[in-house]
Chains A and B, each alone.
Chain A
Amino acid sequence: MNIVEVKNLKKVFDGNIAVDNVSFEVEAGKIFGLLGPNGAGKSTVTGMLSCLLGPTSGDALIDGKSIVKNPMDVKRVLGVIPQDIALYPTLTARENLKFWGRMYDLTAQETRARTEEVLKIVGLSDRANELIQTYSGGMKRRINIAAGLLHNPKVLLMDEPTVGIDPQSRNHILETVKALNRQGLTVVYTSHYMEEVEYLCDRIAVMDQGKIIAQGTQEELKQVVGREDVIRIKVSGATEKIVSKLKEIPLVDGASLKDDAVDILSKQGHSVLADVVSALNQSEAKISSVEIQEPDLEVVFLHLTGRSLRD
């Protein structure tokens, strides 16, 4: 059964189309990923789903309630974790959660009980009486998540919940999302981090320039790449200029640079390998390893757009 049904959502700002006829469904109890680079339109979609922005056209049903016709009903079943830390820094974590609990229509007694429960979920019960402004970035993110869980939502909408935090806090958040999902919570997870979406999500929609350019399970998406080989070259000193030159090599279908690796897409990987290595050697880049890999979501995006997720 689909608990989220998004139908032809469109949002136009001052004549610019930010979201263009986006449609997807999310089955109850699953984690759905919305993957795309910054500016792809993901946050506008989450803004409309959380009833912050009215769609220019289209609609979405969450637990059968329309975001256009029944926004108040939608807000009661939807937990929203915003991309920004939306908390009061001079209140303690516990005071913040109690405030948000009351704003979600919980009684004083329910708020007290749920505050303690969500503090346990995010692992901050022992620090709950400290002011938010004294917390690390990761701890703030965890309380930011806790505030969206207070009213026991049926669907959790998470917008880039791990931006700007340390790996340890990031892992904690990812494990928390997994644990919540195991308890039956449906999650719509928005991110530009391919690894997070790969790790968490049952189904994924890839967004670019306001549109969904592909969606399905990870396997289905990887099949989009088809028979193309993915050559991943670990390299130091590579630049976008070098990557542009690599794209000009005959039979290379796409190239992208991510951290210290260059990904090359080609239907004849073995044929282009020598030219690619030669081009890199002529530049100032130093190769440390070369391998032909299974495609991942980064490669899928590269295949679909010719650009990296970070472009």
Chain B
Amino acid sequence: MKLLTVALKDVKITVRDREALLILLAMPFIIIAILGLALGETFSGSPRLSKYDVAVVDKDKGELAKLFIDKTLKSDDLSRLLKVTEMTEDEARKLVSMGDLAAGIIIPKGFSEKIKRGEGGKLEVIGDPGQKIRAAIVEGITRSFARRVSAVTIGVKTPLNILVESKAISPLELPATTGLLTKEARSAVTKPFIRVQEETKAAERGLSAIQYYSAGMAVMFILFSAMFGAVSLIDERHNMTLARLLTTPSRNSSILGGKLVGVFFIGILQFSALVLATRLMFGVQWGNSLPGLVVLVVSTVLASTGMSIFIAAAAKTTKAAAAMSQVLIQGMAALGGSMVPLQAFPDWLKNISQFTINYWAMNGFTQLMNGKSFEVIILPSIILLSFCVIFLSLGIWRFRFE
């Protein structure tokens, strides 16, 4: 089958081309590594939480302090996020100021007693300015605990007052009733109120930078394989191998089809290599739906393949093709979310970005990475295939063999 002969010849030529390999594989991998590791967990407004050390200074030694430390800070949920170490106030302040600890919580002496007496208490959080987000999380946890304690205290006091005022119980029965209610209240205070998103709401968790840029750069650099495809077609014309191919008993459709299948094969190899490499080297999760990933990769590569013949038809020289490709690729990458997440865009720009291959590919890949199932890639895949059909039609219509 001549179509396959032409395609495999092109794959062989590309695999031997060091410059092509550098651009198609090494460059995206390096950029993914740099951006992913540099931006790390603070990316996209949805930080991926990694475990860190927090100091607790328990000057209270009371019941509520014990509840806060053992049942909240060291609960199963939060222990995945925080490593809590008890220490003295001096130690805590020193380590936080040196940046060795993100934050410290100081529970003042008499905290539990004051709360019990309804006088209100105060918890102090000290944070490292260099680890603002981590410190803010600790502050949030502490504030949330304090609010809950306040609510429960009011909630216990108010019904008791109502019971006494309505004479439903006598003031003599108050201590026993209080004991019952505060038991319930104690359990309410220690109910889990903060969970690590990753565990309960995987579908809505944010992506890490390395995940985001693995998808972003893979989509962007797959378009470079379209550029190489276009250059290869023009090269065949300039080096007269296309003319020679036309002197063989081969149909034009086999020759052009073979060239396009070659671009498709190279694209699939490139994308698969990037998915595997990012998975193995950086542990990037590409989602739970393998069929979804396969269909989306194929759709993206097909859109890129269509783009290659479009460029080859529009540009007369390899230089023009490369320049045109650069503009198209960089433009689509910037607008389509390969470089910067679309959340950062104003609405009008988001509307424009929908006219790019990158937007739809990124839409599908990020949703898959967020744990969504096959259904989410159906619309992006249909639109990517539409890109392929439009580019192919225009390209084949304009391509000249002579």
Footprint of B on A, CB under 8 Å? 50-53, 72, 75-76, 78, 80, 82, 84-88, 90-91, 95, 99-100, 102-105, 147
Contacts and interface: CB of A to CB of B under 8 A. Distances in A.
B17 A87 contact: no
23 contacts: A51-B246, A52-B243, A52-B246, A52-B247, A52-B402, A75-B247, A75-B249, A78-B247, A82-B247, A84-B239, A85-B239, A85-B240, A86-B243, A86-B244, A87-B241, A88-B241, A90-B17, A91-B13, A100-B248, A103-B2, A103-B5, A103-B245, A103-B248
Contacts of A90: 13, 16-17
Contacts of A82: 240, 243-244, 247
Contacts of A99: 5, 9
A72 B252 CA distance: 11
A86 B249 CA distance: 16
A86 B12 CA distance: 17
Interface in B1-32: 2, 5-6, 9, 12-13, 16-17
B239 A86 contact: yes
Q: Which 4 pairs of residues, A with B, have the shortest CB-CB distance? A: A86-B244, A84-B240, A86-B240, A103-B248
B46 interface: no
A49 B341 CA distance: 58
A86 B241 contact: yes
Given A82-B240, A84-B240, A91-B12, A72 B249 contact: yes
A46 B359 CA distance: 50
B88 interface: no
A263 B247 CA distance: 40
Interface residues of B, number: 20
Contacts of B249: 72, 75-76, 104-105
By DSSP majority rule, is chain B's interface helix, strand, loop, or mixed? helix
A80 B240 CA distance: 12
B250 interface: yes
B248 A75 contact: yes
Nearest to B250: A103
A147 B247 CA distance: 12
A85 B247 CA distance: 14
Looking at A85, A87, A103, the one whose CB has the most chain B CB atoms below 10 A away is: A103
Contacts of A50: 247
Nearest to A150: B248
Contacts of B16: 90
Most chain A beta-carbon contacts within 10 A, residue among B2, B13, B243: B243
Interface of B: 2, 5-6, 9, 12-13, 16-17, 239-241, 243-250, 402
Given A52-B246, A75-B248, A86-B239, 4 more contacts: A52-B247, A82-B243, A90-B17, A99-B9
A87 B244 CA distance: 9
Contacts of B241: 86-88
Contacts of A104: 248-249
A84 to B, nearest CB: 4
Contacts of A52: 243, 246-247, 402
Nearest to B13: A90
A103 B9 CA distance: 11
Nearest to B16: A90
Nearest to A104: B248
B238 to A, nearest CB: 9
Contacts of A100: 244, 248
A80 B249 CA distance: 12
Nearest to A53: B402
A76 B12 CA distance: 27
B246 to A, nearest CB: 6
A81 to B, nearest CB: 9
Nearest to B254: A103
Given A72-B249, A103-B245, A105-B249, A88 B17 contact: no
Nearest to A50: B247
Contacts of A85: 239-240
Contacts of A75: 247-249
A137 to B, nearest CB: 15
Nearest to B258: A103
B185 to A, nearest CB: 78
A148 to B, nearest CB: 8
Contacts of A76: 249
A82 B402 CA distance: 14
A58 to B, nearest CB: 19
A261 to B, nearest CB: 35
B244 A91 contact: no
Nearest to B5: A102
Nearest to A54: B402
Nearest to A131: B16
Contacts of A51: 246-247
